Structures are given as C-alpha cells and as structure tokens.
Amino acid sequence: MIRTGKCDFGQSSIFTAYRQIVAEELSVPVEKVTTVITGDTDTTPDGGGTFGLLRGAQNLRKAAAYIREAVLELGAQKFGVPRGSMNVTDGVVSGGGKSETYGKLVAGQIIHLTIPVKGDLTSFFGLQVAGDPPLKPTRDYTIVGQPVKNPILHPKISGEAKWVGDVKLPGMLHARIIHPATLGSTLVSPGAIDRSQFRTAQVVVVGNLVGVVAEDEWEAIRASRSVAANTKWSEWKGLPGHGKLFDYLQNKVSWDELPASNGVTKGDLKLASSAAKTHEGSYFFPYMKHAPISPTVSLADVKSDGSVTLHTHSQNPQFLRSSIAKMLGNPESGDVKVERIAIVMDLGIVVNPLQLKRQVEAGCLFGVGQALHEEVAFDEGAITSANWRSYPILTMAEMPEVKVIIAARPEAGEYGQGSESANALAAPAIASAFFDATGKPVRRIPLRPEYVKAMLAA
C-alpha cells in the first residue's frame, strides 16, 4: 500500500509511476503494490501539491529505501548473519542460506523506524523526506522503465470510479452560487426566495458571496436562477478587453510594480548588440484558463463535534486544509484531538484485571483532559476558574478510544494498581505525538488552541 498526498489529475502517475518507483526500491513485483491511498489529509502525508509529480516521487523513493534497510537489518538479526550478506529479490529477503518474504519477516514484529523530514507542514510545498538512505542503483532497475499498465483506466471508463459528485450524505443540502455579471461588482441587495415555488430553498449571503441552498438539487438550481434575476450588483468596468490587452500591457501597465526576474543569461550581450544584423520583435501570449472540464463540486460534512470533512477536487489537499482552517477562524488547526490512545501497565501482581482495566481507562482519560484543557486561572487576589466553563475538562464527545494492555508480573511480589499513574502518562504521549505530527516541541500544557497556535507559529 502507498499513501500519498498527491492527487490523480488525469496523468495517473500515482497509480503507475509511483507504484513502479516504490516496488523498484523495495525490490518487490509491482503487482504486489495493490493499493494507492491518495489525497486524504487524515491518512496521507503532506508532500506538497500535485505538481512536479516525479520530482515529488523522491519522497516515496527515500521512504521505501529507509523501509528496505530496516527490514534487511531485521532479517540479519533474525537469520544471525552479517548485515552485508543480506539482499532482497522479488520481495524475498535472504542471507546466510535463509530467506523469508517481506510479509513473513515483519509479521508480529515491532520495527522502530524514524524517517526524517524537513519543510513546513502547512506550507504550499509541504514536507520532504530528508537524509540520504542508500538508494538502489539505476543500473539495477528492472521495473522502472517498463510499460506497466494503468490500473485506474478501467474504473474510470466503466463508471466504477467514485467522484466528488457521487458522494451522498444523509440530510445534505445542495447549493448553487449566484455570480455577478462582472468581476469587480459588489453586492447591493440579494434577491428573495419565492416560497410558493421553492419550499426548502434558502438564500445565503456572506459579504459579496450569494448562494442558494435547498434539499433538492433541481430546486436549488431553479431557485438560484429566480434569485439571480432579482439580485442587484454594482457596476464595474476595470478590464481593458482582450482586443486591447496587448496595447494595455505594453503601454499602460506600470511594470515597476512587478519587477522582472532575472533568468539564465548565456553568451556575450555586448558582442551580440554590435552584430551586423539584429532582429527585434514583440511577442504576445494570451491569458488561458486553468480550469477543469468537469463540473466544480465540493461537499462539506460538518460533524456534531465541530470537525469538518471536505470532499472536493484539489491540486493541494493539505494546503487547502490549512487555508480552510484559517478561513473558518481556526488557523493552523489549533484544536488538538486525541482519537486513540494505548497504555501498557506493568504492575506486578494483578488482583482483578477487570477492575484494573477500568481504573486505568479512567485515569488515562483524566490525563487526556489535563493535557488538552485543565489549567487553573487566577489573578492577583483570587482563583478565577470558578466553574466548569472557566475550568473545562474532557467531555463525552471528546472521549478517545482507550486500549489497555496489562503486563502482569507476579514475580515482583507486589500488588499493583494503575489509576493515578495512568493520569501522568497521557500528557507526554500526546506531546510526543504532536511533535511527530508538526515538528514543533510542546513546552507547555494544556494544548489549548491559543497555546497550540503560538507553538505552531514559533
């Protein structure tokens, strides 16, 4: 399986070239790379936008190399042979006359592998895999360079592929935007809904944005047309017209505001200017649209816990996620959510494992609340945290999944309990996960949004 933040923009490189590059570096048949998860910001790394796809593939190549080296090291330990005697061919790791597939070798094993990264998690270009793992020499390539068939073509042609427009959610509303006639117009007054014709439609106005939402898509379309006919916009004429564009750019634009960048200069300019014959000319290139042929569709699923899942086509999902968070007044996410937490208790003699598990779960949840919310506020004379609003604790809606693993050691000769010790373990674990996700160290708790924003900006 490959997880990539890049998206399929028609080239299908992530389903062909990416599989080949990873399979080559791991030395496994390309057919074994069966799944590519793409563009899901919750489950894929941020490798920047969908541009320079093969330059971005260096991230995958390095990650695969790091994994291969870790597995070879594991194999050397298991087979009891020097690391230098290990090799991998067609997904089979061998050395010292012994061999196992990747899958069997890593089954049940815990591999501690840290892949270094650099860059900014919320920048346009995302993160890049750092370091210099030993890469497979190109002279040994057997998969890269081969005409591997594109597995995504058939689902696209047959209609099996799921597009944004295919996503349906319970109770979802359909919307249509009402655009002004000109680019610089501002809203004077929105049109009204004819309730006798459009039973569920509503007009939404945010600044100069006007839209119509309804329970039925066709109702939204018809209602938006009706509202558009009665919506008033200011007049605006700020464009030269495409027929006058060349003259406008040449004679009426102040290029001092847009300084030219220096490109690559080769040759002797002085010698060229003294040539017997010179050529001078003006060249013109028009504006072109960077637009999809298919309809532009987005669907937002706003959950009761305040989280939002956005289904959309985007060239840079991770950057879009940050931009949407800023637009919604939640810059750089700000909110830290703990979805799952696992805790191992080494407590000596366990008297009642069921009761112990309950104690540890409760203590762990208290620790999560301390890590995310709890902080006593006070001024120069008194405690100002006077109620559960000013001193928030973990709510039912925030409860993570807690997995408790009890490692009993009766030979220790002591009876163990685990509730309060579990409290103390949650905060450092959450802080470590935060550092792993953002590259920013946690130097204070609780991880309230205002503190998190400051940490991310530091």
Sign of CA dihedral 64, 65, 66, 69: positive
CA distances from 269 to 250, 261, 263, 264, 265 (A): 24, 18, 14, 13, 9
Distance CA 344, CA 414 (A): 17
**What pLDDT, in 10s, does the model give residues 141-165?**
999 999 999 999 999 999 999 889 8
Contact 49, 57 (CB under 8 A): no
Going by the DSSP 8-state scheme, the letter that residue 244 receives in this structure is G
With residue 453 as reference, give the H or E element that holds it. helix 449-457
Q: How far is CA 99 from CA 33, 65, 214, 391, in A?
A: 21, 19, 62, 59
In 328-375, which ranges are continuous DSSP H helix? 353-372
- 86-103 pLDDT, tens per residue? 999 999 999 999 999 999
Rg (CA), the chain: 30
Average pLDDT, the chain: 89
The whole-angstrom separation of Cα 43 and Cα 97 is 39
Task: Indicate if the alpha-carbon torsion angle 357, 339, 161, 167 is positive or negative.
Answer: positive
Q: Which residue has the tokens 């669907």?
A: 299
Q: Which two tokens stand for residue 321?
A: 């996620």
For β-strands 298-302 and 232-233, DSSP reports them as unpaired
Q: What's the pLDDT score for residue 263?
A: 66
| Predicted model pTM | 0.69
pLDDT for 115 equals: 93
Structure tokens at 178: 């009402």
Quick check: 402 pLDDT over 60?
yes
Query: 10-13: long-range contacts (C-beta < 8 A, 24 or more apart)?
Result: 11/53, 12/150, 12/152, 12/153, 13/53, 13/54, 13/57
DSSP 379: -
| Structural domains present in the chain | 2-158 (3.30.365.10), 164-233 (no CATH), 340-457 (3.30.365.10)
Model confidence over 2-38: pLDDT tens digits?
999 898 887 788 999 999 999 999 999 999 999 999 9
Question: Which tokens is 392 given?
Answer: 């928030």
- In which element (H, E) is residue 451 found? helix 449-457
The Cα 373–Cα 391 span in angstroms is 8
**Which pLDDT score, from 0 to 100, does residue 324 have?**
84
Task: Tell me the per-residue pLDDT of 294-345, one tens digit each, with 9 for 90 and over.
Answer: 778 899 998 887 788 999 988 899 888 888 877 775 556 788 889 899 998 8
The bridge status of strand 232-233 relative to strand 117-119 is unpaired
Point out the least confidently predicted range of 99-108, 365-374, 413-422, 439-448: 413-422
For residue range 432-441, list pLDDT tens digits in order: 988 887 888 8
DSSP 8-state code for residue 415:
B
Q: Residue 216's pLDDT is what?
A: 95
The continuous run of DSSP H or E covering 204 comes out as strand 202-206
Ramachandran region of residue 177, left (φ > 0), alpha (ψ -120 to 50) or beta?
beta
The packing angle between helices 419-438 and 353-372, to 10°, is: 50
Helix and strand tally (H, E) in the chain? 11, 16
| pLDDT(454) > 80 | yes
**pLDDT computed for residue 419 by the predictor:** 61
Q: For residues 2 and 79, what is the distance between their CA atoms, to the nearest angstrom?
A: 28
